[in-house]
Chain A
């Protein structure tokens, strides 16, 4: 089966830059989306098509993709950004795939 691999956890100090990676063997052929999920809440789309930001998502959220790795970057991280983050891809055989999730801690 096709997997997307994320680090289980990332820690960052307030005001610093957080980077969360997502790797998968077919990522070069697919778009990646990123979702933020705060405890007890439904996920929220923060990045789609690798680097596009939906309306209402702060500019400090950005995305990029190169080769088999996609990256979510949060510049000037704020305490409110503490959450779980999931990458997601669409594959023509397995359809929707989620990464295992990364817990972002803002210390």
Chain B
């Protein structure tokens, strides 16, 4: 059973960067295509991007290109999402999500990390 445990809530100022972590257990991370999905307060799900550990390639929603970095730390079985140049619209719960059937669907989700951007 795959389990995803995310890092705690963050408060950042506009223009800063945030790094959210997602520790993977119950399955080899090298087999998991890890995605990041966010949800602004009262809004729907929005895909941010995904990282394929098989080929080391990242894919992003066009609106985040240039601001998002996704990495995989195999020594700690932890995936990371870093979002830079934060603005108030980036305030949201960020989820890591993955599955065992390829790039999608997402069988497993983290508990979410609340990121608040405020001056």
Contacts and interface: CB of A to CB of B under 8 A. Distances in A.
A44 B109 CA distance: 8
A45 B107 contact: yes
Interface residues of B, number: 23
B36 to A, nearest CB: 10
Nearest to A48: B105
A33 B45 contact: no
Contacts of A35: 45, 106
Contact of B46 (A48, A84, A98): A98
A43 B105 CA distance: 12
A45 B106 contact: yes
Nearest to A37: B45
- Which of B44, B47, B62, B105 neighbours the largest number of chain A CB atoms within 10 Å of its CB? B105
B115 to A, nearest CB: 16
A42 B104 contact: no
Interface string A75-98: 000000000101010100011111
B105 A33 contact: yes
Given A95-B50, A95-B59, A33 B44 contact: no
A37 B112 CA distance: 13
B50 A33 contact: no
B26 to A, nearest CB: 15
Contacts of A100: 44
A63 to B, nearest CB: 12
Contact of A96 (B47, B107, B112): B47
A15 interface: no
Contact of A88 (B101, B104, B112): B104
Interface of A: 33, 35, 37, 42-45, 48-49, 54, 84, 86, 88, 90, 94-101
21 contacts: A33-B105, A33-B106, A37-B45, A42-B109, A42-B111, A42-B112, A43-B37, A43-B45, A43-B95, A45-B107, A48-B101, A54-B107, A86-B44, A86-B45, A88-B106, A95-B103, A96-B61, A96-B104, A97-B47, A98-B45, A99-B44
